[in-house]
Structure 1
Amino acid sequence: MKRRPSKSAALGLASGLCALAQAPMLQDGATALRQAQRTWVTGEEPLPPLAFPSFEVGLGGADSEGRYAPLIGGEGLGHGVQGWGVGLQGRYISGGWSVTATALGLRDGRMTRGHLLRAGIAYQWESGWRLALEQQPSAWGSGLTGGDLLGDAARSFPRLSLSAPEASLPIGRWQAEVFAGLLEADRPIPTWISDHEARITAQAGGQDLRRARLYGGRLRASFGTLVEAGLGTIRLGDGEGSAGQAAPASAARTMTLAELKVRLPALARLAQARGAAIHLSRSAAPDSRSITLVPARTLGGLQVVWERWDLGLEYAGTASPGPAAFSEPAYLAGFSTFGDPLGPAFGREVITRTVDLGLPMFLEGQGRLRAVRGTAIAPLTSGFWFVQGEAQWRTPTGRLGATVASRRDEFPGSPARWGWAFSVFQSFRVF
């Protein structure tokens, strides 16, 4: 028997569609992931995909300068995507088929570059199986600065993915997903990565491996209506050396994540909120291809959702990095794409304390403020303060959105150094 949607689910669907309608075109994928997480916290039915075709055009751009300041939920804007210009976004759905694309043409200095920011062609069977060739942001992990395996701060990479329908077993309801993806051929070594200078030296010596492939798999399990657990892993490998030779198998690297999410109805009632939940995770990125949870990075957070407000608090530790040795060919850019981390927005090697606040704004807009305090375990490494603000509005002709981030790095015995990044876009709905 098919369960009838509850009143709260209907309200969640309405608010979700409203949120998607307000999102700036450049960050629609990240906004959808954030709305899905909000829906889980409130315990509502998952929002169904929009089934009608659409087409939008837009004007805007993104830029950055100074110290590395990522846009959390920015999909690579400011670093992997820069410049000013136009965008086109469309969606078409027929039966089990769906086709989506967001393409940008941006002028950066004296060059005009085309970017396929998001795209996908997928088929979903009535049984629930889904096969897709897509380039979309992901949230593998529940961190407020991005999932510990895959987050939405980086530009998406193309991948072939297969999702299984949810299966009811004697213990819980289980669902699986796997993918195989391809990163850009020549990845820049990110400025935020540890041992940056040593990696640059190794790159100059021809030790960098190119054309890396990324493979991943994830299992999710729901136990009743209050608990969800997950286990996932991604593997970086199958690249090639500077002379075109195959990368040695020993160069492959693996990241693994185990997480737990628990809804807290009693806390929601106490706070007069629609929902409340905690999330806990343990992840590891050993200097090998082993699937393991040591050396571990631990993370814990709390989220509370009201009608138009929401609040998130989170602490994320750091694993103790070992000494770097680049005497053999290696993937020197690590788990990154276009200079941004594939997982949490600041990488895994700093301790972060995050406050995330969603709030209503004037003219029926929606805003978000994030503040992050980062500290490092190495005594000569900088700590930092990071602040990001977002604003979104519907307009008579479409929608408008902007995101601005600022970072202040504190170096022992040296003046503070600043960095910033931003994006802004006005989209016009054609149909």
Structure 2
Amino acid sequence: MRRWPFLLAVMGLATGLCAQAPMLQDGAATLRQAQRTWTTGEEPLPPLAFPSLEVGLGGAGSEGRYAPLVGGEGLGQAVQGWGLGLQGRYVSGGWSVAATALGLRDGEMTRGYLLRAEIAYRWESGWRLALEQQPFAWGAGLGGGDLLGDAARPLPRLSWSTPEASLLFGRWRAEGFAGRLEADRPIPAWIPDREARLAAQAGGLDLRRPWLYGGMLRAAFGPVLEASLGSVRMEGGEDSVGRAAPASSARTWSLMEVKVRIPALARFAGARGAAIHLSRSAAPGSRALTLTPARTLGGFQLVWDLWDLAVDYAGAAPSDHPETFTQPIYLAGPSTFGDSLGAAFGREAITRTVELGMPLFLEGQGRLRGVRGTSASPLTPGFWFLQGEAQWRTPTGRIGASLASRRDEIPGSTVRWGWTFSLFQSFRVF
């Protein structure tokens, strides 16, 4: 039995105005704060414009059934062990340089991780170009983003974004990226037809180092409505003997989303803001850009001064998984290091999620997330998932922990649990 999971070496661009989630997750916390800011209708905070350096110690790990750490940036699954961390940021003019490096001891092996990194330049006009490995989320939802989420370890990529432009009755902006996934991606534990994929992989039908690229177009119409249209494509790569991937192995994911602020609901609930989100996304087994077969997601969020409450529902995208694979295909699916790049539990899961942010004693901040998952397939078990995290600022830095647990309902078997746990202490140098 493996020792309890624990987390990370840590530091964070720590002096942000919003609390940061545990385990080097300042990137995930930034995404969450952006969602909260949109709900309240406030102006987004500008990027931090001063240097920082933080060191820390801690660990991350997992045991039992697959239990993704939502917003965990791969910690506990792709990143495990005990050790030290270093995180820093330097800003000068339009340039910004940042990095998060970990050295963790896992069993008899010590591994080094460049968990996050950034070399970016932002022009005064608002254009931004970056070579980065940072968490980001495309698509609403409490799993961190339905098209691209932050449960998986961030992938290295070249990214760009435009300033807002007033066109066609709205304010428009765009962003995009291009990167490559790792050469030997494990078959994820959350894929329903994992055994068939493993057999195909053993037969040499997997592909390595595929390209992943995408674009997102966003438009704000007035003070209460924002719409987004995006697409992500995976193609290229090579097989185990170096042959180029066939065109038939390409895959495209697409998303259409609408977010609406509801001031009347906020006033009724005595909240600072209220909003709903609705989206349709699709991951067809073809090269086409389409929204069928579609996965539907919808939910709402209420934000108070110290509390926030959010609920969402995500239906499963219909799929017909073959029992065997007869041609090279991306057997690991939309994932990196075994974690989902999109919905944390995979697109085949039907999820009902409740999330609550709350103040804790000694001016700490906590968050609870509960998920009930089912499947349209009688062969795929349902599950219960609970994640909690807490963090406190200290005179020298911050301390925090995060725990996720999952129980699968497998007919005719004993109860099976999975755990992911993290713990850290960080020290701010400056």
Tell me what 1:6 maps to: none
Alignment of 1:219-368 (within 5 A): 219-324=217-322, 325-368=324-367
C-alpha contact (below 8 Å) 1:20/1:28 kept by paired residues: no
Residues 22 and 394 of structure 1 are in contact (CA less than 8 Å); yes or no, is this contact kept in structure 2?
no
TM normalised by structure 1 equals: 0.95
Q: What secondary structure sits across from 2:178 in the alignment?
A: strand
- Shift of residue 429 of structure 1? 0.3
User: Structure 2 counterpart of 1:74, which letter?
Assistant: G
Secondary structure of the 1:236 match is strand
Q: Match of 2:25, SS? A: helix
2:24 partner SS = helix
Residue deviations 1:148-183 (CA, integer Å, cap 9, x gap):
111010000000011111111132111011111111
Deviation string, structure 1 residues 362-419 (Cα, Å, up to 9, x no partner): 1100000000000011112210000000001001110111110010100122222100
2:404 maps to what in 1? 405
- Supply the AA of the counterpart residue of 2:162: A
The 1-side partners of 2:379 and 2:248 are apart by: 31
Q: Which amino acid aligns with 1:53?
A: P
2:210–2:236 Cα contact (<8 Å) kept: yes
Shift of 1:18: 5.5
2:218 is aligned with 1:203? no
| 8 Å Cα contact 1:83/1:108 also seen in 2 | yes
Task: After the TM superposition, list the runs of 4 or more consecutive aligned residues in structure 1 that deviate by more than 6 angstroms.
Answer: none
Aligned residue type for 1:360: P
> How many residue pairs get matched?
416
Q: Which has the higher helix share?
A: 1
Secondary structure of the corresponding residue to residue 37 of structure 1: helix
| Amino acid of the structure 1 residue aligned with 2:198 | I
Instruction: Measure, in 2, the Cα distance between the counterparts of 1:388 and 1:314.
Output: 16
TM-score normalised by structure 2 residue count: 0.95
Q: Quick one: distance in 1 between partners of 2:73 and 2:421?
A: 12
Return the alpha-carbon distance in structure 2 between the equivalents of residues 421 and 25 of structure 1.
12
The Cα shift of 1:351 comes to 0.4
Q: Distance in 2 between matches of 1:60 and 1:326?
A: 42
1:234 Cα deviation from its structure 2 partner:
0.4
Q: What is the CA–CA distance in structure 2 between the aligned matches of 1:275 and 1:59, rounded to whole Å? A: 37
Return the match for 2:43 from 35, 45, 50.
Answer: 45
Gaps spanning 5+ residues in structure 1: where? Answer: 1-15
Give the aligned residue type for 2:408: D
Is residue 388 of structure 2 the alignment partner of residue 386 of structure 1? no
Inter-partner Cα distance in structure 2 for 1:39 and 1:177: 19
Deviation at 1:53, TM superposition (A): 0.3
Indicate if the aligned counterparts of 2:23 and 2:423 stay in contact, CA closer than 8 A. no
In 2, the alpha carbon distance for the partners of 1:373 and 1:130 equals 39
Corresponding residue number in structure 1 for 2:415 = 416
**1:129 and 2:116 equivalent?**
no
Instruction: Quote the Cα distance in structure 2 between the aligned partners of 1:310 and 1:269.
Output: 15
164-173 or 229-238, larger mean C-alpha shift: 164-173
- Give the distance between the partners of 1:75 and 1:163, measured in 2 at CA: 22
Q: Equivalents in 2 of 1:41, 1:137: separation in Å?
A: 21
Q: 1:430 to 1:25 in 2, by over 3 A?
A: farther
- 1:44: how far off? 0.3
The alignment-based identity, stated in percent, is 75
Cα-to-partner distance string for 1:5-46 (whole Å, 9 max, x where unaligned): xxxxxxxxxxx9665454435211101100110110000001
In 2, distance between residues paired with 1:109 and 1:334?
Answer: 29
Displacement of 1:424: 1.3
Distance (Å, rounded) in 2 between the aligned partners of 1:73 and 1:327? 35
Is contact 2:70–2:150 with CA below 8 Å preserved after alignment?
yes
Which of 110, 113, 116 pairs up with 2:114? 116
Amino acid at match of 1:338: F
What is the CA–CA distance in structure 2 between the aligned matches of 1:27 and 1:66, rounded to whole Å?
23
Shift of 1:61: 1.2
**Cα 1:379–1:22 shift into 2, 3 Å:** closer
Distance 1:140 1:22 in 2: 20
Change (3 A) 1:415 1:21: closer
Structure 2 unpaired stretches of 5+: 1-13
Is the Cα–Cα contact under 8 Å of residues 284 and 296 in structure 1 kept in the other structure?
A: yes
CA 1:181–1:171: 2 relative to 1, 3 Å: same
